[in-house]
Structure 1
Amino acid sequence: MEQCKRIFQAFGRRKNVDPKNLLVSRFRRNLNIFDLIGIGMGGSLGIGVYIVISYVIKHQAGPSAVLSVIIAGVAAVLSGFCYSEFTTRLPQAGSSYVFVYASLGELSAFVIGWSMILENIVLAAVTAKAWGQYFDGLLNGTIHSYTLDHLQWTGDEFLTNCPDILPCGILFITSLLFVCNAKASTLLSFILTTMNGLVIICIICVGIFHVRHENWTDPPGFFPFGLTGIIAGAGTLFCIFTGIDSMCSSSEETREPIKTVPRAIITSNILTFVIILCVTLAVTLSYPWYNLQDSIAIPTAYQDKGVNGSFYVFAIGGLLGLTAALISSIHGIPRLLFSMKMDRLLYPCCLLNPDTGGVLKLTIFPLLIACILSMFVTLNMLIQMLALGSLVSYTCVAVCVLHVRYQPIHVGLFQEYEDLNEDKYFQSTDFVYPTLFNPKTNNGLSKTFIEKSEIGFYNRLSKDTKHQLIMPDKPRDSTYHKMDSVINDTPSGSQSSLFQIPPGVAIEPSNATSMTSSIALIVFIIATTVFSFIVIFASNSLFTGSWWATACFLISVITLIVTTIVIVKQPQNQTSLLFKTPYVPFVPLLVIFINMLMMSLLSYKAWLRFSIWLFLGLIVYFIYGIRHSTEIEIDDQEVVLYEITDQERTPIK
């Protein structure tokens, strides 16, 4: 019984975070905002424009793929705000894995990390396979014809009819690039993305000159697959925004990550959303959607329109964009594995050079899986496996934002110095107290402490600013957890003023209010699940007025509204953050709602394969991770200290 108790406690143990060490990087900081944008947009535009858009248009949504892009783009932009907040809280390699580990617990973090490993592997396989198709297309299919003549077997929907050699080659070559230097790979990604952007502008412009409204209005019309097709297409398109995770994973290698990473995330998301929407409009309006090819779709479509030279220009653009996408997908794998290895949840399988960020010991196992998938699995089947890991990860990050905002304990960094210098955000426990108290300049300013390590910062302040600092009369060894200067006396639990906490109610969260918000969030997630299944799988019964479908629909809607109001009415942690997700809890709740709606319409085959991968991961966790985790050592130390304290308190008879 005691062993079972320890196991369940291990599931919920959280990563111990020391705010003073969060900006101590284990790597050389040599990346800037352009490098991060190259990683984010390179992965998104490459796989989005040249692979996923044509698949969604032909197989899932038709011309209404435009609406799918809007849904996926809105969800991605809102998720980017949640990621930006946690990036400023915990600027470390590992991205969503680290965020969940510090917020929800170890088991949830392992599931997220393991699912993102699969997502990046499949993404690399899809990108490499499409790259091989584009390259072979420029050679008029010579390589595929040769392998088909000499190594053919019986294929099906899942397996190819001959091995695809080119993807393995490009995966190997791209992996060698990461041995050298992370800066070199990100710089190359930015250059390729810029060149690819010029080609994409040509795709949009050429499409505008060939617009025919009949491509939207002729039978079967604008909604050939109905509402389910739109949402399913949005779920598939969501995978093109996985660059967010790759950018966050590079926080420890970025100069001024607190400023740079959020700006890169928001810029990359908005630009990607706009570009993908424009390309979707151009393709669906200029070419009959049902005639799109399954491979090399856009170059072939424009060639069929009679645009001279378009095939080779757009095929070369596809090679540039897919190479950048491949760099982005591989970029996140070693950093995620490195973070999980440092927490000892995985056996050491990847080593990174702290000076260059290059991979010293290649991630052989993930890349081997990517090679096998790209060689033997069809492209359409690989695309169906995308997005699920990203949707699960992004949903959990939104849950983490809600969780930590309504907790009495703060997680990660916060803005310690208010209105003086936004770069100074360290939480400290050792202070210097110069005698600067000046009652004449006391205009109700909040108390501010200055660290020993920040004496240089203090000396650089102007004389007027120095006199505005009110220094407390406290012993030198005093410590603190939260300062008056980081408290925002807003009487509302939310940033929105739609719902106000009545006067006299505490504006700081307690254990009771935290429990209330957590229960309401769980009920909200359950209601969202019921709503999704009713809308997707019982829509016919709902439209025909079936009593049970109508009752379930109304109950789920009312529950969603009530739980939202309950969460809004709870007080939030008022710590002044370096970046805040706007309109909490509405934005995270909307992210959860949209993502779960998209997840419910993904292929059951995708869920099956994800479940198998997750089962294998849980075996790894229970065999190795749960017994070797770094947090178990901290727990054991706390138990020993607790036992010693109890023994000291026991009276001697």
Structure 2
Amino acid sequence: MDDSWYKSTDSLSWALTRKKTDSQELGKEKLNRVLTFFDLTALGIGSTLGCGVYILAGVVAKSIAGPAVVLSFVIAAVVSAFSGLCYAEFSGRVPKAGSAYIYSYVAVGEFTAFVIGWNLLIEHLIGTASVAKAMSNYCDTLLGNPQKRYMMEHFPIHVSFLAEYPDVASFAVIVIIALLVAWGVRESSFTNNIFTSLNLITISAVIVTGFFKGNFHNWSIPKSEIPSDANGGEGGFLPFGWVGVAAGSAKCFYGFVGFDSIATTGEETKNPKKDIPLAIMASLFVSTIAYCGISTVMTLMWPYYAQDADAPLPVLYENLGMPTVKMMVSCGAIFALCTSLLGAIFPLPRILYAMANDGLLFKFLAKINQTTKTPLISTVICGVGAGCLSALFNLQQLIEMASIGTLQAYTIVCICVLILRYKDNSPSIQDKTTKSNTSSIRTWLNLSNTKVPNADTQYVSRALITIFTVFSFVFGISLANMESHRGTVKTVLMLVNLVSLFVLLVTLLMLGRLPEAQEDLSFKVPMVPIIPCLSVVLNVYLMMELEYKTWIRFILWLVFGLIIYLFYGIEHSVEGKNQKIEKNTIQFKPPKQSEVAMN
């Protein structure tokens, strides 16, 4: 092969792995720094306590997990908390707009950053669409389904993978909220704070009344008492078994995705290095208490199999003969869904702005309106796009698509934290991977008790992180499929499961022996590498619990994004251009004055 092939391969490899530096960001303060810790916490709580707390608990309890939906929320909360800790550390490292996209750009490289940013876009697009869809279904149910009846009669959609009818109401709601977000960050944050406060008051009222009306018999209903036309499983607290709890946790996980919207506000927060990590932890804590409380009282007050899938709480209070509480809950739920919708759409234009500002997406998406100081064009495009998705897809499809994008983003953030914690930060050999002693057992097991990372330990750490990630997928796939198979196939899967678990444990122990980088950060993930590694395993397992149609849609979206990156992003990358200029400057050595004189 000729030299040109090798040169083009090296050039592509450099383009895919180049990392973002802060040099190009100096002096660029385009967004208003107005958000405080309270604003950020309210944004995180508002983003999570919407569709999930009022609707998702009823959906999962009815046909997936039963009363054990409480355990599903606990598992989802633990997984989210692990990822939240990693987000908190990264937000302190890189206080910029763009969330996990910008974090991975700094830690891993441009290609990984584009993939994660592109998937964050679909996560928040679909998250916005699903909340609007839930709000539309909720309001339509309360009013007696006027929209559903009219649309089914005049504009039905006879396509299996789409909704039954175009949801015009959800489209209109998204566009209105998008215009509010485009109006200004201070204004939208103020509105969010009011709605979030009303939401928390409503949730507290539901939990208090629920404990007075609760009946523990609803957690132990025998199969013989379940109506024949109801999908009640085997009855009891675990009517669908631990498989149902695991599948339910994959769905419930969607309810915790809002906290990463906090991480997109790095350039609009007054004190990002301190306030963003604290707000992430605070919002996750409050959300977990609320979800567990609501799912507990909901399943205690009414049998799980009789829950209403579209508006569970209002229907429940109507059945209990409590019209006043029903009205209060209905109003609170609408406020909560508005807040959740605002929190879901808020990060979208910020991610688009960050990617376009780096040249990986089209430049006009990075334009900041001089009056509102917000990315106006990006916000409008996001609103229309999310509105179309909400109008054409049903709620279940949207929830699963949002979950897979979120889980993938969380997984990469945790891997990035591991990479940075074991990175060699010595100036002379930073980011270089020397293989001088990497074949030595002493280096792999750190038998010499090295305290500071060097090129060899960095290489070993990245090899171990790669092995751990690969076997996390093997473990997740085998565990997720084990219950659905019998006989020889189940035995093989169990064997694969045990072997992969053994490799994971050994890799984790070896990684724990390596020296960590000594850095002065505002927040650091505790118990590294245990927490990031556990988060990777749990995130991957929950991804494997999602159905294959979700994976197909996800892969199609990813392919579409890769086409944009290969044909536009690589060439227009601002970081790539800056590094080329820097490289050419270093290679060009101007002649000395004595040499010029001699000539």
Deviation at 1:324, TM superposition (A): 0.3
Which one of 624, 630, 633 corresponds to residue 568 of structure 2?
624
Q: What is the rounded CA distance, in whole Å, between the counterparts of 1:589 and 1:532 in structure 2?
A: 13
Q: What is the rounded CA distance, in whole Å, between the counterparts of 1:505 and 1:18 in structure 2?
A: 36
Identity of aligned residues (%): 32
Aligned to 1:11: 16
Deviation at 1:129, TM superposition (A): 1.5
Aligned to 2:471: 527
Task: Provide, for residues 277-300 of structure 1, a one-character-per-residue CA deviation record: whole Å limited to 9, x for no partner.
Answer: 111111112111112222112211
Structure 1 counterpart of 2:480, which letter? I
Which one of 177, 181, 200 corresponds to residue 178 of structure 1?
181
Q: What is the rounded CA distance, in whole Å, between the counterparts of 1:161 and 1:284 in structure 2?
A: 29
Q: CA 1:355–1:16 in 2, change beyond 3 Å: closer, same or farther?
A: farther
Aligned to 1:435: none
Q: CA 1:25–1:231 in 2, change beyond 3 Å: closer, same or farther?
A: farther
Q: CA 1:71–1:240 in 2, change beyond 3 Å: closer, same or farther?
A: same
Task: Provide, for residues 322-352 of structure 1, a one-character-per-residue CA deviation record: whole Å limited to 9, x for no partner.
Answer: 0001111110011101100110000022533
Residue 283 of structure 1 pairs with residue 288 of structure 2: no
Q: CA 1:54–1:157 in 2, change beyond 3 Å: closer, same or farther?
A: farther
Deviation at 1:593, TM superposition (A): 1.1
Residue 147 of structure 1 pairs with residue 163 of structure 2: no
Structure 2 counterpart of 1:122, which letter? I
Q: What is the rounded CA distance, in whole Å, between the counterparts of 1:627 and 1:315 in structure 2?
A: 51
Residue 401 of structure 1 pairs with residue 417 of structure 2: yes
Structure 1 counterpart of 2:198, which letter? M
Deviation at 1:608, TM superposition (A): 0.9
Worse-superposed segment, 333-342 or 522-531? 522-531
Q: CA 1:543–1:255 in 2, change beyond 3 Å: closer, same or farther?
A: farther
Aligned to 1:87: 91
Deviation at 1:528, TM superposition (A): 1.6
Which one of 328, 353, 361 corresponds to residue 338 of structure 1?
353
Q: How does 1:364-443 map to 2 (within 5 A)?
A: 364-409=380-425
Aligned to 1:163: 166
**Contact 1:241-1:269 within 8 A present in 2 as well:** yes
**Contact 1:61-1:68 within 8 A present in 2 as well:** yes
Q: What is the rounded CA distance, in whole Å, between the counterparts of 1:406 and 1:86 in structure 2?
A: 14
Which one of 310, 328, 338 corresponds to residue 295 of structure 1?
310
* Aligned positions, number: 562
Aligned to 2:266: 251
Q: CA 1:23–1:229 in 2, change beyond 3 Å: closer, same or farther?
A: farther
**Contact 1:507-1:571 within 8 A present in 2 as well:** yes
**Contact 1:303-1:309 within 8 A present in 2 as well:** no
Which one of 77, 89, 92 corresponds to residue 73 of structure 1?
77
Aligned to 1:643: 587
**Contact 1:66-1:281 within 8 A present in 2 as well:** yes
Q: CA 1:216–1:622 in 2, change beyond 3 Å: closer, same or farther?
A: same
**Contact 1:69-1:234 within 8 A present in 2 as well:** yes
Q: CA 1:210–1:158 in 2, change beyond 3 Å: closer, same or farther?
A: farther
Structure 2 counterpart of 1:553, which letter? N
Aligned to 2:62: 58
Q: How does 1:448-463 map to 2 (within 5 A)?
A: none
Higher share of residues assigned helix: 2
Aligned to 1:224: 239
Deviation at 1:17, TM superposition (A): 2.6
Deviation at 1:157, TM superposition (A): 5.3
Residue 125 of structure 1 pairs with residue 138 of structure 2: no
Worse-superposed segment, 291-300 or 307-316? 307-316
**Contact 2:66-2:240 within 8 A present in 1 as well:** yes
Which runs of 5 or more residues in structure 2 are unaligned?
A: 224-233, 430-444
SS in 1 for 2:45: helix
Task: Provide, for residues 541-567 of structure 1, a one-character-per-residue CA deviation record: whole Å limited to 9, x for no partner.
Answer: 689896533432221121011100110
Residue 596 of structure 1 pairs with residue 599 of structure 2: no
Which one of 340, 344, 353 corresponds to residue 325 of structure 1?
340
Aligned to 2:100: 96
**Contact 1:28-1:354 within 8 A present in 2 as well:** no
Aligned to 2:529: 585
SS in 1 for 2:365: coil
TM-score (norm 1): 0.81
Task: Provide, for residues 97-131 of structure 1, a one-character-per-residue CA deviation record: whole Å limited to 9, x for no partner.
Answer: 00001111111111111111111111111111122
Aligned to 1:551: 495
Task: Provide, for residues 185-242 of structure 1, a one-character-per-residue CA deviation record: whole Å limited to 9, x for no partner.
Answer: 0111111011011111121122212222232222222223332322222122222222
Deviation at 1:158, TM superposition (A): 3.3
TM-score (norm 2): 0.88
Deviation at 1:167, TM superposition (A): 0.9
Structure 2 counterpart of 1:607, which letter? W
SS in 2 for 1:242: helix
Task: Provide, for residues 45-96 of structure 1, a one-character-per-residue CA deviation record: whole Å limited to 9, x for no partner.
Answer: 0121123222222232222211111111011112111111111110000010
SS in 2 for 1:91: coil
**Contact 2:250-2:403 within 8 A present in 1 as well:** yes
**Contact 1:236-1:386 within 8 A present in 2 as well:** no
Q: What is the rounded CA distance, in whole Å, between the counterparts of 1:545 and 1:341 in structure 2?
A: 48
Residue 352 of structure 1 pairs with residue 352 of structure 2: no
Q: What is the rounded CA distance, in whole Å, between the counterparts of 1:592 and 1:254 in structure 2?
A: 29
Task: Provide, for residues 156-190 of structure 1, a one-character-per-residue CA deviation record: whole Å limited to 9, x for no partner.
Answer: 65333332211111111111112321111011111
**Contact 1:292-1:301 within 8 A present in 2 as well:** yes
Task: Provide, for residues 508-550 of structure 1, a one-character-per-residue CA deviation record: whole Å limited to 9, x for no partner.
Answer: 1111111111111111112222222222212476898965334
Which runs of 5 or more residues in structure 1 are unaligned?
A: 411-479, 483-499
Q: What is the rounded CA distance, in whole Å, between the counterparts of 2:375 and 2:519 in structure 1?
A: 38
Structure 2 counterpart of 1:91, which letter? P
Q: What is the rounded CA distance, in whole Å, between the counterparts of 2:491 and 2:398 in structure 1?
A: 40
